[in-house]
């Protein structure tokens, strides 16, 4: 039963900062860590309510701000199947976060209870984890106060990657629950065991590849990848070689600083601390290890990025080939956002002849769309994505190719984009194909592109349509952008407000680097 007085008293210890207006955005709540205490306390309450509503199913909570600076933090909820929180409940999260007083908070809780006909007497259970940010422990303490206030059972998983939390939440709702006190350890063990075994199956006896240098952004990916690699090496110490750099999770100020997937993708250059020789294969994770981008340098020093678009193209190409060999009647589709490089879309549609759809930014949009296919490949250009295999594809009975498909379906973390599982997935395809990074890169040539941030006084006046590729407001701006774009060969540009930062993003592509940079600069000038 819900004890409203207890909630009131507990809430008074985590008062809302009056002047701040919170929104549950693309990736939950995200901002400077010092503004988040009240929000996180209330997220604990919401998770309890959601668990009660879903008949005591386990709800997950992740405390992270991913690739954002170390001083930021954030929180998001994970539904029982390991997917992002249902959209209607995002609205409740926003309402709860913005209730000014303790009385308001109780009113919002009561309205959620009555709108959803929640049975207050149901048990509630939540699991939660955090990344390596220094603000994490304090925020976890506030979260625990919220969980206790609603009389939910909370299991602390300690430090985990975001995808581990998604994976384990799903696991707890379909498999046997561990004994009390064993959750934290099992969330690691089960994850390592599953992906190490699947990797072993997927690589078969193909010839091994060279070491991959991994920039772990000085975040949680470093210790987790190290342990995962140890598990793989226990099965066979010859199939997977990594050297982890930027693995300092204890030094202040290093997380995501001039390193990590976002830094490398946006800057189109290697991270701090990595001396890339031309024969080296390298990759960068982000601060919570759900994004990955690969890269190398040519003999003449040119930097080549193998981003989310290239991962999607590599995966779709291999899967389509397996499906054909097996003679399966399975539809494969790819989901992208407006940030996908124009050349990647052309390659998928014209060379691979696979249907491609474009949806708004944010993994939840891609995930939903990908569920419409038997095999749905989705990656954001920034390296966040995964592949969904429907159960038909998983049970089809056609020998070798099917077995390989089966192994691939086990190797990818289907609850959410996961840098560590994506790394193993890519490695296994490259090993099956015996492809170098150079060969992989050559499947299509990226159009020169640029992504810039523009700080504006109010980003909320920017409204988009057409999967965010067209501005409807401010009036007249899109026409001006169109005019500029028309002046450049293969020009493409669009503008949208960020869902995670207080900026507007401008993206541009054109046939030459000079044209592309000029176009981005000019469009940014229109926005500013
Ligand atoms: P916003 O800030 O809404 O552009 C960014 C990324 C998204 C997604 C979220 C969540 C870009 C251009 N945008 O969103 O793709 O990953 O963060 O982390 O990369
Ligand atoms: Zn991330």
* pLDDT tens column, 166-198: 999 999 999 988 988 899 999 999 999 999 999
Last residue of a domain, one of 387, 407, 432: 432
Residue 338, domain member (yes or no): yes
Q: How many CB atoms lie within 10 A of CB 35?
A: 16
Active site residue 457: no
Residue 494 in contact with ligand 1 by CB distance below 6 A: no
Q: How far is the CA of 118 from the centre of ligand 1 (A)?
A: 33
Atom of ligand 1 nearest to the CA of 382: 19
Q: Please list, in sequence order, all residues whose beta carbon lies within 8 angstroms of the beta carbon of residue 315, skipping any fewer than 6 positions away.
A: 377, 387, 425, 426, 429
* 499 CA → ligand 2 middle, Å: 14
* Per-position b or e across 500-521, b if 16+ CB within 10 A of its CB: bbeebbbbbbbeeeebbbbbbe
* In a shared domain, residues 379 and 497: no
pLDDT in tens, 404-437: 888 899 999 988 999 999 999 999 999 999 999 9
Mean pLDDT within 492-515: 95
Same domain membership, residue 151 and residue 28: yes
Count the domains in the chain. 4
Domain end among 135, 152, 182: 182
Residue of the CA atom closest to atom 19 of ligand 1: 382
CA dihedral 498, 503, 509, 512 (to 10 degrees): -150
Question: Is residue 29 domain-shared with residue 177, that is, in the same domain?
Answer: yes
421 and 458 belong to one structural domain? no
- 158 within domain boundaries: yes
Position 329 scores a pLDDT of 86
Ligand 1: does its nearest atom lie under 6 Å from the Cβ of 516?
no
Q: Within this chain, do residues 40 and 165 fall inside the same structural domain, yes or no? A: yes
Q: How far is the CA of 489 from the centre of ligand 1 (A)?
A: 27
Ligand 1 pocket member 505 (CB < 6 A): yes
Q: Are 30 and 500 in contact (CB under 8 A)?
A: yes
Q: Please work out, in degrees rounded to the nearest 5, the angle formed at the alpha carbon of residue 503 by the alpha carbons of 510 and 132.
A: 105
**Mean pLDDT over residues 353-378, rounded?**
95
Specify the ligand 1 atom closest to the Cα of 451: 12
Same domain, yes or no, for 163 and 53? yes
Q: In whole angstroms, give the CA distance from residue 461 to residue 134.
A: 34
Instruction: Kindly report the protein residue whose alpha carbon is nearest to atom 10 of ligand 1.
Output: 27
pLDDT in tens, 276-299: 999 899 999 999 999 999 999 999
422 shares its domain with 328:
yes
Is the per-residue pLDDT at 79 higher than 80? yes
Does 194 map to a domain? no
Question: Mean per-residue pLDDT for 191-216?
Answer: 95
Question: Is the residue at 110 inside a domain?
Answer: yes
CATH number at residue 523: 3.30.310.50
* Arithmetic mean of pLDDT, 206-213: 95
Residues of 432-464 as b/e, b for ≥16 C-beta within 10 angstroms? beebebeebbebbebbbbbbbebeeeebeebeb
Ligand (nearest to CA of 166): 2
Which protein residue's CA is at the shortest distance from atom 5 of ligand 1? 500
Q: Is the pLDDT of residue 392 over 70?
A: no
Residue 498 lies in a domain: yes
**335: containing domain:** 308-432
- Confirm or reject: Cβ of 499 under 6 Å from ligand 1: yes
Pick the catalytic residue: 66, 284, 409, 493? 66
User: Taking 90 as the threshold, does the pLDDT of residue 164 lie above it?
Assistant: yes
Instruction: Report the alpha-carbon distance of residue 57 to residue 450 in Å, rounded.
Output: 43
Residue spans of beta strands (DSSP E) within 211-280: 212-215, 242-245
Which pLDDT score, from 0 to 100, does residue 399 have?
Answer: 61
Q: Choose the final residue of a domain: 182, 212, 229.
A: 182
Q: Is the pLDDT of residue 400 over 90?
A: no
Residue 116 sits in a domain whose CATH number is: 3.40.120.10
The predicted pLDDT at position 328 comes to 84
* Nearest CA-CA partner of 340 in 379, 286, 283, 292: 379
DSSP state of 84: B
Tokens matching residue 519: 């176009």
């Amino acid at each position: 039963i819900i004890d409203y007085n207890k909630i009131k008293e507990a809430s008074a210890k985590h008062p809302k900062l009056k002047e701040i207006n919170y929104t549950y955005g693309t990736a939950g709540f995200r901002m400077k860590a010092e503004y988040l205490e009240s929000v996180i306390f209330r997220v604990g309450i919401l998770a309890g309510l959601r668990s009660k509503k879903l008949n005591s199913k386990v709800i997950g909570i992740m405390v992270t701000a991913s690739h954002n600076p170390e001083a930021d933090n954030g929180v998001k909820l994970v539904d029982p199947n390991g997917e992002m929180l249902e959209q209607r409940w995002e609205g409740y999260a926003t309402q709860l976060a913005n209730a000014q007083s303790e009385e308001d908070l109780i009113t919002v809780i009561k309205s959620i209870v009555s709108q959803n006909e929640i049975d207050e007497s149901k048990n509630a259970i939540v699991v939660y984890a955090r990344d390596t940010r220094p603000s994490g422990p304090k925020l976890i303490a506030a979260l625990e106060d919220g969980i206790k206030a609603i009389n939910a059972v909370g299991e602390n998983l300690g430090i985990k990657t975001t995808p581990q939390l998604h994976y384990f939440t799903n696991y707890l709702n379909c498999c046997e629950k561990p004994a009390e006190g064993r959750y934290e350890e099992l969330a690691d063990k089960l994850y390592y065991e599953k992906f190490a075994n699947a990797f072993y199956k997927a690589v078969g006896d193909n010839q091994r590849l060279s070491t991959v240098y991994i920039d772990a952004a000085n975040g949680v990916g470093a210790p987790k990848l190290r342990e995962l690699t140890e598990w793989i090496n226990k099965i066979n110490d010859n199939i997977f070689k990594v050297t982890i750099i930027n693995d300092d999770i204890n030094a202040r100020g290093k997380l995501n600083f001039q390193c990590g997937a976002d830094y490398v993708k946006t800057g189109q250059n290697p991270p701090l601390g990595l001396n890339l020789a031309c024969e080296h294969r390298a990759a960068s994770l982000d601060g919570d290890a759900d994004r990955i981008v690969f890269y190398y340098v040519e003999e003449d020093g040119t930097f080549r990025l193998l981003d989310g678009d290239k991962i999607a193209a590599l995966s779709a190409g291999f899967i389509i080939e397996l499906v054909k060999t097996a003679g399966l009647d399975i539809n494969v589709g790819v989901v992208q956002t407006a940030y996908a490089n124009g050349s990647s879309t052309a390659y998928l549609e014209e060379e691979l002849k696979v249907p491609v759809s474009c949806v708004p930014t944010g993994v939840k949009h891609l995930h939903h769309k990908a569920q419409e296919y038997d095999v749905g490949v989705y990656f954001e250009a920034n390296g966040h994505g995964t592949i969904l295999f429907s159960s038909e594809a998983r049970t089809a009975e056609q020998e070798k190719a099917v077995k390989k498909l089966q192994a691939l379906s086990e190797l990818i973390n289907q609850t959410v984009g996961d840098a560590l599982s994506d790394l193993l997935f890519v490695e296994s395809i490259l090993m099956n194909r015996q492809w170098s990074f150079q060969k992989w890169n050559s499947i299509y040539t990226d159009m020169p592109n640029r992504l810039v941030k523009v700080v504006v006084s109010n980003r909320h006046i920017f409204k988009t349509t057409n999967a965010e590729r067209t501005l409807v407001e401010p009036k007249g701006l899109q026409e001006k952008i169109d005019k500029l774009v028309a002046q450049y060969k293969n020009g493409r540009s669009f503008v949208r407000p960020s869902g995670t930062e207080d900026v507007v993003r401008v993206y541009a592509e054109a046939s030459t680097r000079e044209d592309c940079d000029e176009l981005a600069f000019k469009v940014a000038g229109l926005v500013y």
